[in-house]
Amino acid sequence: MFKRIPYSNDVGLFIIRLGLGIMFILHGLPKLMGGPKLWEGLAQKGLPMLPDGFLSIVFGLAAALAEAGGGLLLILGLYYRFGCAALGVTMIVAASTKMDGVSNLYEFAKVAGWPVELAVVMIGLFIIGPGSIGFGRRSS
């Protein structure tokens, strides 16, 4: 009655890459379109030791590019490990911005868990490689 579904690690990896990539793009595009004032605010929140001005704008733009561009690279499988690394670092910084309101394990999971989980996923995907579906070279 039902045909057996052929299972494939490459198809599974692509589904993960596609879903996460779309979500990162949806989070990153509004930040990219927000302009220098928003980029500076992103950097000041994530890296408060940065001085106001040009350097903060550059780091905020880098975070927005990491989300939008990294999401696209994740989907395409192109410069895949670079995209995973950029997204992983961005998520670690994002998690650090949420630690002020955390005083116990429950609050950590509720407040900072999402970016920590995504950082772990990005590390895992970095190690696994993109699989054979995409525009990048197959990673063994």
User: Do the domain assignments include residue 45?
Assistant: yes
What mean pLDDT do residues 118-133 have? 96
Structural domain containing residue 14: 9-128
124 has a pLDDT exceeding 90: yes
Phi, psi of 90 (to 5 degrees): -60, -40
User: Do the domain assignments include residue 1?
Assistant: no
Q: How many whole angstroms separate alpha carbon 125 and alpha carbon 85?
A: 9
Best CA proximity match to 90, nearest among 67, 109, 111? 67
pLDDT (0 to 100) of residue 138:
52
Q: How many whole angstroms separate alpha carbon 77 and alpha carbon 85?
A: 13
- Tens-place pLDDT, residues 31-45: 999 999 999 999 999
User: Do the domain assignments include residue 37?
Assistant: yes
pLDDT-above-90 percentage for the chain: 69
Long-range contacts: 43-51, Cβ < 8 Å, 24+?
45/97, 46/93, 46/94, 46/96, 46/97, 47/93
User: Do the domain assignments include residue 135?
Assistant: no
Structural domains counted in the chain:
1
User: Do the domain assignments include residue 134?
Assistant: no
**Burial of 7 from C-beta contacts in 10 A (0-12 / 13-18 / 19+):** exposed
Least confident of 36-40, 109-113, 120-124: 109-113
Confidence of residue 140 (pLDDT cuts 50, 70, 90): very low
The residues, ordered by sequence, that sit 6+ positions from 95 with a Cβ below 8 Å of its Cβ are 112, 115, 116, 119
Q: Positive or negative, the Cα torsion across 27, 40, 115, 13?
A: positive
User: Do the domain assignments include residue 4?
Assistant: no
